[in-house]
A and B are shown apart, each in its own frame.
Chain A
């Protein structure tokens, strides 16, 4: 009974917060609703026994991606009247996009069920004693090793690309050089002068 109750609880909150994400007037509220949706979908993952994916979802999406997202959205000064004005204009296009997505999902699920992949997956023995981190790791680093490494490389290229595109070297600033500062000793900076009276200091 508890898993069923938990499923309906999480599922309701995911759907409701998804609706609120697009319905709320304030963009920061939207992001917070989105975060709630992420968090509850992690709960759904937990119910189907994918605890590793659930934790990753929370750590990566809620803990890192959404924080940065919120960071950016909080600093934006968005004019809502202007945004709302475009709502009716984009409505047909948005509806079309939603319909296409819906059809694709229906087709994918139908094909998955009809082709027998689903039955095979359900019939495959699942060893309950194996934690799914181990199971996932064993497949990921053996069978899908090259694909996995390839995905990692794509992310690396994306990261380097983003840095190259946004980084600009400014010549007119003097950045702090910490190791130089740490190397500096009193004898480099302080000079003891035995100053005779009536003369200026030679600098």
Chain B
């Protein structure tokens, strides 16, 4: 599509138009999906509590989210007089925008990705670490004590879990050898015998669990929803918000949840690959597999929300710093040690080395490559001597 637009509208403008259309193609269905996922969340939660859940608006209550959206849209936006106006209105916008832009690098199917950048995973990490600003700014700008407590909690919680998420991701990156999300998915093809997915690897399975729990903490979902713990903080950082500014927080929160579900699927369970590397399964389009995996993870998110009681704040900190951090650090050693023993000795491509050093110095810089795994255009005998 980009080529077609560039052919008709010229290079720069064509690229711009095509990208804009692609962004809309992701963002609009995402908004619809968020509306339906809020409904699904409420239904799953209700079913687990032996209730009916929303069942009045539309068939089976399917239109409930849209009715809620309309209601919220028609309400008056109340800005507290003590609040810092600009920042107060900026906070929900930041949350909502950051929930959307993470999707730019998620591959929905083979080649179906908006920005196929080679630092995709770092981009996701950057976006998810930024999303805490929405909460902090909202809490501070409200000029009210409960939102402020919530902002402090959010800041500490996010920083604690980011560290272990980073270490978990290092394991995945080491195994895949790339930061590109499509590359990570491709690396999972037939990872364990004929099964696709890093999660089926016994060495990486514990990491997938830690990542899932950290994803719950990152998105501030139950049991880690201390930023909006209603028994202590009214509604946390959302206390002073009303109307669309409140709705943007909700949309952003669920957009983040879906993003984290998608990330779980991409990093550990093969993304758009079918679970088993068997030809007939590829007849189903990759995007269907990907959506199915997202939905499975979303179900688990709701399941956890319905069954696990909320953590106390010190327990949350203990879990992050005293349990996840040492385990994931240990696992970085285990995974890199295992790969050092089994994978080829010099993962660096020889053109990489040639680009940054010259041939004569190469074996001085990379002693482990001297034994001929990497011969920079010389004979193997020359490399050994």
Contacts and interface: CB of A to CB of B under 8 A. Distances in A.
Contacts of B137: 32
Contact of A64 (B148, B159, B366): B159
A135 interface: yes
Given A58-B130, A67-B159, A133-B118, 9 more contacts: A52-B122, A55-B126, A63-B129, A67-B155, A74-B140, A74-B152, A129-B351, A131-B118, A131-B119
Interface stretch (B199-207, B273-281, B326-334, B352-360): B352-360
Contact of B151 (A58, A74, A125, A135): A74
B322 to A, nearest CB: 9
A75 B16 CA distance: 43
Contact of A63 (B15, B119, B130, B352): B130
B240 interface: no
A67 B132 contact: yes
A2 B126 contact: no
B155 A51 contact: no
A89 to B, nearest CB: 30
Interface string B1-41: 00000000000100110000000000000000000000000
Contacts of B122: 52, 55-56, 59
Nearest to B151: A74
A56 B121 CA distance: 11
A123 to B, nearest CB: 14
A71 interface: yes
Nearest to A137: B348
Nearest to B15: A2
6 contacts: A28-B140, A55-B119, A59-B129, A71-B152, A133-B118, A138-B353
Give the interface SS of chain A, mostly helix, strand, loop or mixed: helix
Interface residues of B, number: 40
The 6 closest A-B pairs by CB, nearest first: A63-B129, A142-B365, A55-B122, A127-B355, A58-B126, A131-B118
Nearest to A136: B356
B162 interface: yes
Contacts of A143: 357, 365
B352 A138 contact: yes
A94 to B, nearest CB: 28
A178 B318 contact: yes
A22 interface: no
Interface in A64-82: 64, 67-68, 70-71, 74-75
A68 B136 CA distance: 11
B156 interface: yes
